[in-house]
Amino acid sequence: MNWLTAGQKPNGMVVRLQGFDRGTFGGNFHTHNMLSHIPPCVDMVCYSNGRDYVRGFRNAIAQAKQGRIVVLVDCTNLLNLRHLHGKDRDWDRIYPTNDQHPMMSFHDIRRYGTKGKWAILSYGNGVVTSLQARKSLVEKGTIKSEDELDIIDCPYVSAVPKGLKEVVTDYKGILFADICKEAPGGNVLSSIITMLHKEELLPNKWLFVGAPRT
Give residue-wise pLDDT tens across range 20-48: 666 555 445 555 566 777 777 899 999 99
Determine the length of the chain: 214
Please say if the pLDDT value at position 1 is more than 70: no
pLDDT tier for residue 5 given thresholds of 50, 70 and 90: confident
CA distance readout (Å), 169 to 7, 159, 165, 193? 35, 17, 7, 13
Please say if the pLDDT value at position 195 is more than 90: yes
SS3 track for 64-106? HHCCCEEEEEEEHHHCCCCCCCCCCCCCCCCCCCCCCCCCCCC
Closest of 117, 189, 181 to residue 155, by C-alpha: 189
Closest of 164, 172, 153 to residue 196, by C-alpha: 164
Average pLDDT, the chain: 88
Residue 18: partners with Cβ closer than 8 Å, 6 or more residues away = 74, 76
What is residue 29's predicted lDDT score, i.e. its pLDDT?
53
Mean pLDDT of 49-60: 95
What is residue 214's predicted lDDT score, i.e. its pLDDT?
66
Task: Please state, in angstroms and rounded to a whole number, the distance separating the CA atoms of residues 85 and 138.
Answer: 13
**Per-residue pLDDT tens digits for 137-191:** 999 999 999 999 999 999 999 999 999 999 999 999 999 999 887 777 678 899 9
pLDDT tier for residue 57 given thresholds of 50, 70 and 90: very high
CB 49 within 8 A of CB 93: yes
Task: Report the run of H or E that residue 137 belongs to, with start and end.
Answer: helix 125-139
CB 104 within 8 A of CB 55: yes
Whole-model pTM: value is 0.90
Residue 63: partners with Cβ closer than 8 Å, 6 or more residues away = 12, 43, 70, 106
Mean pLDDT of 192-204: 95
**Per-residue pLDDT tens digits for 102-129:** 899 999 999 999 999 999 999 999 999 9
What is residue 26's predicted lDDT score, i.e. its pLDDT?
47
Q: For residue 48, which amino acid is it?
A: S
**How many CA atoms, within 13 angstroms, populate the side-chain half-sphere of residue 72?**
22
What is residue 31's predicted lDDT score, i.e. its pLDDT?
58
Q: For residue 120, which amino acid is it?
A: I
Please say if the pLDDT value at position 80 is more than 90: no
Task: Report the run of H or E that residue 44 belongs to, with start and end.
Answer: strand 42-45
